[in-house]
Amino acid sequence: MSLKLLVLEDDDGIRTALSLAMEDEGYEVTEAPSAEVALQLVQGNPPDLMLVDLMLGGMDGFSFIREVRPTSQAPIIVLSAKTDTHDIVAALEAGADDYVTKPFQVKEIGARLRALRRRAGVTVNPGGASPAEQTTLVLDSDGGPLVLDVNAGVVRRGADEVHLTLTEFRLLCELASPAGRVLSRRALLERVWDRGYFGDERIVDVHVRRLRTKIESNPNAPQLVVTVRGQGYRLDIR
């Protein structure tokens, strides 16, 4: 079955070129010339992946991502001519998984989408045990147990599911394999975003901040995903 790809782009030429190229790669593509149209499409026919332009007439791409993130975990790649660090960070903090600046080559978009798809094959090996023995892991016992369920692809706090994006979930799994090990930003970038991906390491920091807001009791004083100064990040189980 073909994966469903939503292309949100208000430039007719770019949107058409992307759609044709992605259809050639086997995707079932739905086009949206505006965020308002895209929201209706997401509600009626949820996509598996999304390509989202930031600068749109009416609702912009930032607002669109924030609007769909509470109900959709579909990976989002932002496409934009904006290269300022503030804009990149803002898009990632809104809920995007990756960022590609214009102008770009269509084959790069295809490669980024394939990398996002590969991330779904998550394994975790906490404490050196085999994945079959460690498919669930209690990360925190305070305020209702925080449980990472690798097989189900979910994180739960007590009876409630903690809604993570695919990238956030993969990041948590990598930090948990095994827990307590320090992973550098570069190592996380290669493991989570795909081996051989040479993007900006700041993308890791943004996603760690987002992850903390969802799993930490106090994101400003994290006790689970801990920063190890000058080295990277470590997951501490409580």
Banded model confidence at residue 119, pLDDT cuts 50, 70, 90: low
Give bridge partners of residue 51 from the DSSP assignment. Answer: 7, 77
202-215 helix and 85-94 helix, angle to the nearest 10 degrees = 30
Banded model confidence at residue 130, pLDDT cuts 50, 70, 90: very low
User: 39 in helix, strand or coil?
Assistant: helix
Task: Provide the pLDDT for residue 34.
Answer: 96
> Over the Cα atoms of the chain, what is R_g?
18
The pTM of the full predicted model, rounded to 2 decimals, is 0.69
Is the distance from CB of 100 to CB of 108 less than 8 angstroms?
yes
Give bridge partners of residue 137 from the DSSP assignment. Answer: 148
Query: Pairing state of beta strands 232-235 and 225-228?
Result: antiparallel
HSE, side-chain direction, 13 A CA sphere, residue 59: 18
10 Cβ partners below 8 Å, 6+ apart?
A: 33, 34, 53, 55, 56, 57
Is residue 121 predicted with pLDDT exceeding 70? no
Task: Provide the pLDDT for residue 117.
Answer: 78
Task: Provide the pLDDT for residue 216.
Answer: 93
- Domains in the chain, CATH or no CATH each: 4-118 (3.40.50.2300), 126-235 (1.10.10.10)
- Smallest CA-to-CA distance from 174 within 235, 93, 216 is with 235
Query: Pairing state of beta strands 98-101 and 49-53?
Result: unpaired
Task: Provide the pLDDT for residue 134.
Answer: 56
Task: Provide the pLDDT for residue 222.
Answer: 93
